[in-house]
Amino acid sequence: MLHVSIFVNDMAESIAFYTEKLGLKLLRGPVHYAGNCDMAFVGKDWNAYIELVFDLEAHPPYALGNRVEHLAIDVEGDFARAIAALQAAGVRVVNGPKKSPGGERWIAFVEDPNGIPVELLEAIQR
């Protein structure tokens, strides 16, 4: 697992909680994606982190149980081939493949059997 993404009501308050109270580092952000969302990333390092998302689009109020947006997993090797193989195996691709909002790597979303979105990210070459 790479990260968990959660919706937040107040980005500054959430960053303060995770960094000042829980001792995580602000790895990046907040970054503003016009018309979409604001995002910040907190964690010990980029090996496992929390993606904080303040949704700019209209939506019902968040309640306990609907704050987890998705799971994320690195995909090693040829990203397009991996997505094609998943589709051939009957996995529903709900978004992508496309470049991530920052344009740094390929991204796609698939759906697990429970309807939970799983973000697949092109692995960063380290």
Q: Which of 51, 111, 119, 122 is catalytic?
A: 119
DSSP β-bridge partners for residue 94: none
> How is domain 67-126 classified at the CATH fold level?
3.30.720
CB within 8 A of 67, min separation 6: which ones? Answer: 6, 7, 8
CATH 3.40.50.12500 fits 1-57, yes or no: no
Output the pLDDT for position 100.
87
Output the pLDDT for position 63.
67
pLDDT digits (tens, 9 = 90+) for 84-117: 999 999 999 999 999 988 888 999 999 887 677 8
* Known catalytic residue at 119: yes
- Give the up-direction half-sphere exposure of residue 59: CA atoms within 13 A in the CB hemisphere: 14
Domain boundaries along the sequence of the chain: 1-57, 67-126
Burial environment of residue 96 by CB neighbours within 10 A (0 to 12, 13 to 18, 19 or more): middle
| Gyration radius of the chain's alpha carbons | 15
